Amino acid sequence: MNQEPAHAMLWSEEKLTHLQEQLTDPWTSDSWPMQCRVPGQKGKQVQRIFHFTFASSSLTIEFKYALWRHLTRGEWQTPGRQENLFYALGLLVSWLNQTAPTTHSLLEKPLEVWVCSLRSWLVQTDHYTPARGKHLTASQTYTTYPKEDRRILLLRVVYRTLVDVYDDRPETDKEIWDLRKLGISLNLSQSNHQLNFTVIIQPWLCSLAKRYLKYNLAVRSAGDCVSKLTALRQFSQFLASEAPYTQASDLDRALMLRYLSFLQAQPLAVATRHNYLVALRLFLDTCVHRLNVPGLPREPLIFDDDLVKRPEYGTREVPEEVLVQLRKHLHALPTIILRMVTILLEVGLRINELCQLPLDCLICDDKHEWYLRFYQSKTHREHVIPLVEKELVGAIQAQQQDIRAQWGNTCLYLFPSPLTPTKPYQQKTFSHHLNTWALKHEIRDRKQQLYRFTAHQFRLSVLMIVLMASFVEFTR
């Protein structure tokens, strides 16, 4: 994997002073009062004081800036998150005061050196508390995975925040591109807003990937660029393990056949293997014929016959027997998910359109008829559609009341993130809660297999109902 660049050269007294100048009251103080959750007492809060008592005044500025930046962006807003932040900060202060009291900047050392030092210190002081996470897979079964100690996670966030602010190079010269800084239109209901080129191991392939994706960003969506980079990462891993000395001029048909075999041996879905091959073929074709990259073979290396045939999945809408079970257990859903599913079932929005619905999405005309206003990302236009069901209007109004009661005028979304009112509900959070509920109630298909929902199925179900109704009307 590409090594992280030497970040020490990014630091300067002038840049540190600039960080300090951005901190205004009350953030200039070395003691920040915060509302935190009382451990073990649900709903009860207590004021904690975040003390920035670093022996190094430079580290004080850097940590204050990093935390200020995230807090003022609406992150870490819940009392529970701030409680964790309070204890994590206290231990980071103690660790750095003991092990690096004269350090001028975190960027003096690579991140992994600091991580190793902190982990050793936490173990020695009996504070190291890694955890295990639980993930619900596509087969509706749980797997567990290790999670890093949250003090180390906080250190990583602070370090990367500092790298980002100190590095004043053009964004596309960096190893990680922040698409927000490039002015790219983003789907805010998805959390991935970066293109991370450190996952590309070969320098020549990394350089080509940057050139290609800079072009692709101009003609395709951010999501398409993320998926293309994922495919190139897979090809990079193949080269590292099977052909480590390969250069751009060595790409040929024989190498591609080896890559086909490599993909076949990986635990990947058929559709994923298909997408990886299509993405690689498009990458090579674009580099040769659109970007005129010298040294690459001009003849095709991947043919249609090489592409993995997608299996026939049959109907893609929610099966009728699943809808029956869904409606039976609907009210056992968490309130937010219940209201979101109700809108999906009645209106058939795309999931990103649902998650990003504005708080004032309801319109009532002079005839007291109701309409839903939303932004359609596919056409980049605002749409207004009629609402017939009074229950649906009531569900939206109830959600509006709850959000205004909780967040006042600070929230723009009908369904904000549970962690911050400045961001919309995340698609993966919706999917997680819906499928956790489906597993709990043993929702099954006609083959008695545990059923896994995707949000797009609701849209297809609504479209199928509309299509059938139109067909019946046409044949009368």
Residues 6+ apart with CB under 8 A from 306: 256, 260, 277
Residue 92 pLDDT more than 90?
A: yes
Distances in Å between the alpha carbon of 380 and those of 48, 187, 193, 333, 415?
Answer: 45, 12, 19, 32, 20
Q: Which residue has the tokens 């044949």?
A: 475
Q: What three-state secondary structure class fits 293?
A: coil
Residue 313 lies in a domain: no
The reply to whether 208 and 159 lie within a common domain is no
Across all residues in the chain, what is the average pLDDT? Answer: 90
Interval 32-53: pLDDT, tens: 998 887 766 676 788 889 999 9
Residue 315 lies in a domain: no
CB 326 within 8 Å of CB 319:
no
The reply to whether 127 and 257 lie within a common domain is no
User: According to the model, what pLDDT value does residue 273 have?
Assistant: 94
The reply to whether 283 and 358 lie within a common domain is no
Final residue of a structural domain among 152, 168, 184: 168
Chain centre distance of CA 115: 23
The reply to whether 222 and 93 lie within a common domain is no
- Give 80's pLDDT tier (boundaries 50, 70, 90): confident
User: According to the model, what pLDDT value does residue 420 have?
Assistant: 84
More confident residue, 7 or 396: 396
The reply to whether 161 and 196 lie within a common domain is no
Amino acid making up residue 353: E
| Three-class secondary structure assignment of 119-154 | HHHHHHCCCCCCEEEEEECCCCCEEEEEECCHHHHH
Buried b (16+ CB within 10 A) or exposed e, 30-47: eebebebbeeeeeeeeee
Q: Is the dihedral of CA 309, 311, 314, 316 positive or negative?
A: negative
Interval 121-130: pLDDT, tens: 999 999 999 9
Final residue of a structural domain among 279, 306, 333: 306
Interval 152-171: pLDDT, tens: 999 999 999 999 999 999 99
Residues forming a β-bridge with 59 = none
Segment 344-355 mean pLDDT: 91
User: What CA dihedral angle connects 468, 469, 473 and 476, to 10 degrees?
Assistant: 60
The reply to whether 143 and 190 lie within a common domain is no
Residue 355 lies in a domain: yes
- Report the alpha-carbon distance of residue 361 to residue 392 in Å, rounded: 13
- Report the alpha-carbon distance of residue 11 to residue 163 in Å, rounded: 9
Residue 432 lies in a domain: yes
Nearest to 414 by CA among 354, 363, 455: 354
Residue 211 lies in a domain: yes
Phi-psi region of 126 (alpha: psi -120 to 50; beta: other; left: phi over 0): left
User: According to the model, what pLDDT value does residue 470 have?
Assistant: 43
Residue 314 lies in a domain: no
The reply to whether 19 and 156 lie within a common domain is yes
Segment 400-429 mean pLDDT: 92
The reply to whether 161 and 288 lie within a common domain is no
Give the H or E element holding residue 418.
none
Nearest to 444 by CA among 324, 351, 331: 324
- Give 81's pLDDT tier (boundaries 50, 70, 90): confident
Interval 422-469: pLDDT, tens: 899 999 999 999 999 999 999 999 999 999 998 888 887 765 554 444
With pLDDT > 70 as the criterion, what percentage of the chain qualifies? 93
- Report the alpha-carbon distance of residue 36 to residue 80 in Å, rounded: 6
CB 36 within 8 Å of CB 77:
no
Q: What are phi and psi of 386, to 5 degrees?
A: -75, 150
What helix, strand, coil percent values describe the chain, rounded to 5?
A: 55, 10, 35
Residue 331 lies in a domain: yes
Interval 370-394: pLDDT, tens: 999 999 877 888 999 999 889 999 9
Q: How many domains does the chain have?
A: 3
Residue 311 lies in a domain: no
The reply to whether 160 and 194 lie within a common domain is no
User: According to the model, what pLDDT value does residue 6 have?
Assistant: 53
CB 20 within 8 Å of CB 62:
no
- Report the alpha-carbon distance of residue 176 to residue 161 in Å, rounded: 12
- Report the alpha-carbon distance of residue 434 to residue 351 in Å, rounded: 13
Question: What is the CATH classification number for the domain harbouring 416?
Answer: 1.10.443
Q: Which residue has the tokens 């009532």?
A: 364
The reply to whether 14 and 163 lie within a common domain is yes
Nearest to 32 by CA among 47, 22, 19, 11: 47
Final residue of a structural domain among 168, 189, 206: 168
The reply to whether 157 and 183 lie within a common domain is no
**What is the domain extent for residue 33?**
8-168
The reply to whether 143 and 211 lie within a common domain is no
Segment 250-257 mean pLDDT: 97
Q: What three-state secondary structure class fits 348?
A: coil
The count of C-alpha atoms lying within 13 angstroms of the C-alpha of 174, restricted to the half-sphere facing its C-beta, is 21
Residue 16 pLDDT more than 80?
A: yes
- Report the alpha-carbon distance of residue 240 to residue 417 in Å, rounded: 39
